[in-house]
Amino acid sequence: MWQNTPLARKLSIRYPIIGAPMAGGATTPELVAAISNAGGLGSLGAGYMQPEQIKKAIRKIKQLTNKPFAVNLFIPCDYRVTPQEIQLACTALNQSSTELKTTISACDYHDPPSYDEQLGVIIEEYVPIFSFTFGIPSTKDISRLKNNDILLIGTATTLTEALLLEENRIDMIVAQGYEAGGHRGTFLGIEEDALIGLISLVPQLADCINIPIIASGGIMDGKAIAASFSLGGSGVQMGTAFLTCLESGIHPKYKKTLLSQVKDNTVLTRAFSGKLARGIQNLFTKRMAHHLDTITDYPIQNSLTQKIRQKAKSLHSSDFMSMWAGQSAHLCKEVKAKELLKSLVDELNVIYNTN
């Protein structure tokens, strides 16, 4: 049976289909639980959440499902910035903030939530699976997580990163292809050198890595899942396809924009966060393409553009929202997560001639 893969067995799930963690509000407890209840693995994108909010969301997920689920965090990364660079970044954002009737200054920078405290909640709340991106947890944290029987899923965008994850005793690896929506998980070298398509990345990893590989990027239907299995993947992680599910928490305008796409209209940009990410092209990404040298490192830029993103939401303006999406966004459908899972399973049963 196609679904009985090492990944499905390791995660104790019926179908080797993971709903991607999507920080920023898409992966509501309802979406996470619906995916897990339908036989996949739901994941909470908790990277931007305060520890208390994570605790509340985990408890809600546990009320809604008794199936396994994952919580995902961002591994903190190094960044450098000077007061002059912050000033320059604010000036470059001026035109957009003025149009939205808000102001941005250096005072708008806030530190992101404490990773150590976020991780503490995951351990205290007995979360069964921890997934992460942008790096590798410290050896001490890996031991702590393993001592608490928490399975670990890392993210790689190159073979070198995947080898390092395996060497560090990570249990499974998401192979994030160039097609993927959201931030690049790259943590070794520069992101532009790690833009590898899934058809190249998955077999590279499958040939050299002995732990399950999870294909991720542009996967929207049964055909793409079957292709991922052929490439050596043991399962898939799908983000964009779940963004337009009824349980997803994204802004209605973002959802409407996704549902109205007719072809790939995505772009890789650092404009919103300072870290390379794929999303729907809009006025802000086009405008900031002329100010590339003013964009500060993540998480500074992310913090500086927060007001712009918030104001865009309150004004329902897709011109200034960050609308992360993969290259196959035009295949999005507005359905319940359970129905999406069912249609994927039905397509795979036809492809593999199983029932």
Ligand X SMILES: Cc1cc2nc3c(=O)[nH]c(=O)nc-3n(C[C@H](O)[C@H](O)[C@H](O)COP(=O)(O)O)c2cc1C
Check residue 158 for interaction with ligand X (CB under 6 A): no
Contact positions with ligand X (CB under 6 A) in 282-321? none
Beta strands in 149-284 (DSSP E): 151-156, 172-176, 182-183, 213-216, 235-238, 266-269, 277-280
Question: Please, are residues 78 and 302 in contact by the beta-carbon 8 Å criterion?
Answer: no
Q: Is 343 exposed, middle or buried (0-12, 13-18, 19+ CB in 10 A)?
A: middle
Whole-number minimum distance, CB 167 to ligand X, in Å? 20
Please say which residue, 109 or 187, places its beta carbon nearer to ligand X. Answer: 187
Which residue do the tokens 């209209």 mark? Answer: 265
For residue 132, the cross-strand partners are 73
Structure-block tokens of residue 126: 């007995």
**Which of these segments, 117-125, 136-144, 179-187, 199-207, binds ligand X (CB under 6 A)?**
179-187
Identify any residues that bridge with 211 across adjacent strands, giving them in sequence order. none
Specify the residue, 31 or 180, whose C-beta has the smaller distance to ligand X. Answer: 180
Instruction: Report if residue 233 touches ligand X, rule: CB under 6 A.
Output: no
Beta strands in 247-351 (DSSP E): 266-269, 277-280
Of 97, 157, 216, 269, which one interacts with ligand X (CB under 6 A)? 216
- Pattern 196-215, ligand X, x by CB under 6 A: --------------------
| Total chain residues near ligand X (CB under 6 A) | 28
User: What is the identity of the amino acid at 16?
Assistant: P
Among residue numbers 27 through 56, which ones bind ligand X (CB under 6 A)? Answer: 45, 47
x-marked contacts with ligand X along 256-285 as a string, rule CB under 6 A: ------------------------------
The helix/strand count (H/E) of the chain reads as: 15, 11
Contact pattern for ligand X over residues 318 through 337, marking x by CB under 6 A: ------xxx-x---------
Before 21, cis peptide (omega within 30)? Answer: no
User: Interface with ligand X by CB under 6 A: which residues?
Assistant: 20-24, 26, 45, 47, 72, 133, 155, 176, 179-182, 216-219, 237-240, 324-326, 328
